[in-house]
Structure 1
């Protein structure tokens, strides 16, 4: 295989962009195991007291993730996120105003391999979320598993991440003052297995939990489609029905996380590695779907709102696909 090495005269700004994305990829796939190892390792060194004191802190702070987390605005506004935004680049597109007196559920599609668009747009300040939607605070959901990793849980809470279990996701929506936007990558980990370039499969046809949550709390639904999310990585062929897909789905059902076999480019060469390609991401936030509070929705009411949401998401895709290089004959496929 011929290796396409990066030229030596790459501008410093592009090197900074690559370094920032590298640390983000490591944070996503390697930081949690590193934190667990560090926590256990310290117990057998002269610094054992650090882990012991952290355990005490963890005991008293255990419920914080399920109560809105602990966002640190300084961390969300760091300059390094500008480098990540410019690497792809990533842009947040607004189509309608959102009244901060209400609470919202943003349905983010597609998940992609590492949800780069969702993280950059809703966990950092770099694409202007707070300017585009004044008065709104975003809370992005993440698998509860990651909040059981010492040190790592505190790091991800700094960005406004909270667990995706029902109780944690409902907490911001119960706040009567409004102004909270819970961001859900609806397809979740299973949809990452379909994140192939050129794919527009959306795992939504049987996903109704977030619809019911919106109805119970009277939170308005906002469809979000991130053009380019599936273009960042190549993935080993794992079509439904293949032995690899069967293994991936079994592991996902056991561990709760999916294991897509993805690859893209490296740090100093463009031929292979785990750094995403430099391809644009345009995250379009659709118009809100007004939802009346219904504490015990019927199956018919749930089905109606679910179909309305799918229609609105499809309309959003059709309305904007031409702006981002998607062929006019391409349509969303709901799985």
Structure 2
């Protein structure tokens, strides 16, 4: 395999963009493990009191992730996220006004490998979410596992991330004065195993928990489609039924996280590596689907809203796909 090296003369701005995206990938893949290692190592040094004090703090603060988290506008507005945004680039597209006196559920599709579009648009403030939707505050839901890791939990909470648990979502949606947005990657970890350039398959047919949640709180549902989300990484072929896919699905059931074998480009060359490709991501936020509050919705009512959600998501995709170079004969597939 021939290697395509990056030119020596590249503007400093682009080099900084690559460095920022590298640290973002590192944060997803290895920062949690480094935090655990640091916590253990400190116990056997003169700084043993740091993990001891942190454990005390951790116990006292253990419920914070499930009560809206602890986002930091300072962290979300850091200049480095502008470089992250411009690397791809990432763009947030508004199609309708949202009432800040209501709480919403954003259904994000597709999951992609590392949900780059969701992170850029809803965990930072550099794509203009607060300007486009004044009075609303997004909270991206993430696997609860990551909120049990010392130091790392505080870092991800600063970006507005909260656990993808019913307790957490219910807290957000029960805010009487409104203003909260629960952003849920509906396909979850299993959908990451489908992510590859050109893929338009979404895990949605049996995903109805978010519909029930919306009905229980009367929270409008907003379909969100992120064009380009699947284009930024390649993935090793893992068709359904293959040995690799069986191993990945087994690990996903045991660990709660999926392990897609993805690859893209490197730091100084474009042929292989774990840094995403420079492909544009356009995250289109659709129109709200009003939901009548039902504390104990029937399965029939859930199915009815679920079907309406699929129809609105499909409509959103079809209305915008030509703008983002999706062929006319390509359509969403739901499994």
TM-score, scaled to structure 2:
1.00
Give 1:297 shift.
0.3
Task: Determine the structure 1 residue equivalent to 2:102.
Answer: 102
Pairing of 1:37-48 with structure 2 (within 5 A): 37-48=37-48
Distance 1:226 1:201 in 2: 13
Task: Determine the structure 2 residue equivalent to 1:80.
Answer: 80
1:224 paired to 2:253: no
Give 1:241 shift.
1.4
Distance 2:228 2:149 in 1: 31
Give 1:243 shift.
1.2
1:279 paired to 2:253: no
Q: Secondary structure at the match of 1:183?
A: strand
Task: Determine the structure 1 residue equivalent to 2:178.
Answer: 178
Task: Determine the structure 2 residue equivalent to 1:211.
Answer: 211
Task: Determine the structure 2 residue equivalent to 1:57.
Answer: 57
Distance 2:69 2:181 in 1: 14
Give 1:169 shift.
1.4
Task: Determine the structure 2 residue equivalent to 1:160.
Answer: 160
User: Gaps spanning 5+ residues in structure 1: where?
Assistant: none
Distance 2:290 2:65 in 1: 28
Give 1:328 shift.
0.4
Q: Secondary structure at the match of 1:30?
A: helix
Give 1:32 shift.
0.2
Distance 1:316 1:292 in 2: 22
Task: Determine the structure 1 residue equivalent to 2:20.
Answer: 20
Runs of 4+ in 1 over 3 A off after TM superposition: none
Count of residues paired in the alignment: 335
Distance 2:101 2:177 in 1: 6
Pairing of 1:1-335 with structure 2 (within 5 A): 1-335=1-335
Distance 1:85 1:250 in 2: 34
TM-score, scaled to structure 1:
1.00
Instruction: Provide, for residues 180-204 of structure 1, a one-character-per-residue CA deviation record: whole Å limited to 9, x for no partner.
Output: 1000000000000000110000100
Distance 1:102 1:173 in 2: 9
